[in-house]
Amino acid sequence: MEKITFDQLQEELFHEKMSNGLNVYILPKKGFNKTYCTFTTKYGSVDNTFVPLGKDEYVKVPDGIAHFLEHKLFEKEDGDVFQQFSRQGASANAFTSFTRTAYLFSSTSDVEKNLETLVDFVQSPYFSEKTVEKEKGIIGQEITMYDDNPDWRLYFGLIQNLYQNHPVKIDIAGTIESIAEIDKDWLYECYNTFYHPSNMLLFIVGPVDPEKIMTQVRENQAKKDYKAMPEIKRKFEEEPTQAAEKKQVLQMNVQTSKTLLGIKALHVDQTGEVLLKNELTMNVLLDLLFGKSSDNYNKLYDEGLVDETFSYDYTQEQGFGFAMVGGDTEEPDKLSDRLKQMLLDANQGSVFNDEQLARAKKKKIGAFLRAVNSPEYIANQFTRYAFNDMNLFDVVPTLEKITLQDLQTLASEVISEERFSVCQVIPKQK
């Protein structure tokens, strides 16, 4: 077990790689009641074309299967694992993203027992025809719930505009039609390919004794017979750098219009420190352009084009990435045009000064401190960073290194009209 110390933050992190390849991290948090624990596989909705374990040919799986699998893993021959967690006073959950599936619990007592339950249930799949069919009704209602949600439709509509081929454009839960194709054999095939310990990360944060917890996990894993696993082969089609569609307007049962402008990212093959610096630079750029203290935001607010729902965000993962900015507005076209112009203006050379950059960095450093108050943030973000060969605790030092030149270079590369796209939700015309 190695110990990594972060002096300024006054935190210690413990790490060990198990002999089956599982990476385990423990961050003790004194004074907290809660222990929060995530067990995550590097497998999400975008991993839909791959060579299944023990086979030679690529297969394409039904849309929504990673998420379906997440639901079904909780069910065992003798009942539902949720029940077991609640008997042990824990609250359990799971989520599926584009690139990860995470299983988690939080508890303020019986941590060892709950940890054992978490690791064991994720490592012992039980899928049957009957329970797979039953789940289709439940997930069907989850899909319909999102269908009625204008913010979700707007977000996914924009991704679909930006991407031509990449499976990031497929809704994480799939569709009623696509999940109809899922059966237990598909689930086992995905499980066997992606749930090997060497493709997974276990993170424990809370008032725990790291030595004791690490020993427990080591003993637990030693009891299980995992064979070494060949590298997982995933396939993604070639993706153009420009946006697939310029604009999409969705008519829905709403009273307020919404608009979201997206920029398709470049350099989506980055990993490690390069990716970390790139995404932090992009975040600082967006803060300077659209943050509440920015000229742009205040102009738009004063003109009545935006309200408090206005927001911006940047996502970058292996193979895809996008910046998004927008919100509720009475004039969706005018707002989209203004946002485009503001971005294009920023690409015309240096628009920021050192003082603004220093302030933006201070803001991000404070936000990081606030974030590490949260066990959920630490576990989930650390895992995401690790899967991209980055380290969450490098955020502040990397941030400090960003220069005006970095901002300018990134702005001039990424901000380009051919990579813009707009998605809008407007009230349904009678």
Partner 1 sequence: MDSTAEKITELQGYKLHVIATEKYKTNTFVWRMKAPLTKEDVTKRALLPHVLQSSSAKHTSTAALRSYLDELYGATLYVDLAKKGEYHVMSVSLEIANEKFLSDPAPLLKKGFELLSEILTNPNASGNAFDQDTVEKEKRVLKSRIQSVFDDKMRYSNVRLLEEMCKDEPYALQVNGEASDVDAITPENLYEYYQKAFSEDEMDLYVIGDVKEEEVRQLAGQLLQFENRTPKKIQTEKSAARSNVNEVKEEQDVKQGKLNIGYRTNIVYGDPDYFALQVFNGVFGGFSHSKLFINVREKASLAYYAASRLESHKGLMLVMSGIDLKNYDQAVGIIHEQMDAMKKGDFTDQELEQTKAVIQNQIMETVDTARGLTEILYHNVVADTTISLDTWMNEMNKVTKEEITAVAEKIQLDTIYFLTGTEAGK
Q: What is the CA radius of gyration of the chain?
A: 23
Token pair of 184 as six digits: 């237990």
Contact call for residue 254 and partner 1 (CB under 8 A): yes
Cα–Cα distance, 382 to 29 (Å, whole number): 15
Question: How many of the chain's residues bind partner 1 (CB under 8 A)?
Answer: 72
DSSP 234: B
**418 included as an active-site residue:** no
Residues 265-304 that bind partner 1 (CB under 8 A): 291-295, 297-298, 301-302, 304
CB of 361 to partner 1, least distance (A): 9
Q: Tell me which residue has tokens 């944060």.
A: 205
> Nearer to partner 1 by C-beta: 69 or 162?
69
> Nearer to partner 1 by C-beta: 274 or 367?
367
Contact call for residue 90 and partner 1 (CB under 8 A): yes
- State which amino acid sits at residue 109: S
Strand 11-17, strand 79-80: pairing: unpaired
Q: Which among 61-69, 88-96, 155-163, 382-390 is the span making contact with partner 1, rule CB under 8 A? A: 88-96
Distance from chain centroid for Cα 170: 15
Among 365, 389, 394, 404, which residue interacts with partner 1 (rule: CB under 8 A)? 365
If we measure between CA atoms, which residue out of 374, 380, 382, 388 comes closest to residue 96? 380
Q: Are the C-beta atoms of residues 382 and 337 closer than 8 Å to each other?
A: no
CB of 117 to partner 1, least distance (A): 14
E-state strands within 51-117: 59-60, 75-76, 79-80, 91-96, 101-107
Among 108, 164, 175, 381, which residue interacts with partner 1 (rule: CB under 8 A)? 108
Contact call for residue 240 and partner 1 (CB under 8 A): no
Contact call for residue 3 and partner 1 (CB under 8 A): no
CB of 421 to partner 1, least distance (A): 22
Contact call for residue 57 and partner 1 (CB under 8 A): no
Token pair of 426 as six digits: 């407007």
Contact call for residue 228 and partner 1 (CB under 8 A): no
> Nearer to partner 1 by C-beta: 1 or 367?
367
Cα–Cα distance, 183 to 322 (Å, whole number): 33
Token pair of 104 as six digits: 């988690």
CB of 260 to partner 1, least distance (A): 15
Among 366, 401, 413, 418, which residue interacts with partner 1 (rule: CB under 8 A)? 366
> Nearer to partner 1 by C-beta: 150 or 167?
150
Contact call for residue 129 and partner 1 (CB under 8 A): no
If we measure between CA atoms, which residue out of 292, 289, 313 comes closest to residue 301? 292
Cα–Cα distance, 303 to 11 (Å, whole number): 45
CB of 302 to partner 1, least distance (A): 7
DSSP 24: E
Cα–Cα distance, 314 to 344 (Å, whole number): 17
Could you please report the per-residue DSSP string of 168-230?
GGS-TT--HHHHHT--HHHHHHHHHHH-SGGGEEEEEEES--HHHHHHHHHHHHHTS-PPP-P
Q: Which among 26-34, 54-62, 193-201, 338-346 is the span making contact with partner 1, rule CB under 8 A? A: 26-34
- State which amino acid sits at residue 78: D
Of the listed 16, 57, 70, 239, which one is catalytic?
A: 70
CB of 32 to partner 1, least distance (A): 5
Among 19, 109, 311, 341, which residue interacts with partner 1 (rule: CB under 8 A)? 109
Residues near 303 by Cβ (< 8 Å), separated by ≥ 6? none
SS3 per residue for 27-39: EECCCCCCEEEEE
Residues 372-411 that bind partner 1 (CB under 8 A): 372-375
Among 147, 313, 413, 417, which residue interacts with partner 1 (rule: CB under 8 A)? 147
Q: Tell me which residue has tokens 């920029």.
A: 263
Cα–Cα distance, 61 to 132 (Å, whole number): 16
Q: Which among 2-10, 192-200, 216-224, 267-275 is the span making contact with partner 1, rule CB under 8 A? A: 2-10
Among 3, 112, 129, 145, which residue interacts with partner 1 (rule: CB under 8 A)? 145
Cα–Cα distance, 233 to 313 (Å, whole number): 30
Residues 341-360 that bind partner 1 (CB under 8 A): 359-360
Token pair of 122 as six digits: 């994720």
> Nearer to partner 1 by C-beta: 175 or 192?
175
Among 5, 255, 405, 429, which residue interacts with partner 1 (rule: CB under 8 A)? 255
Among 128, 144, 311, 348, which residue interacts with partner 1 (rule: CB under 8 A)? 144
Q: Which residues are tagged catalytic? A: 70
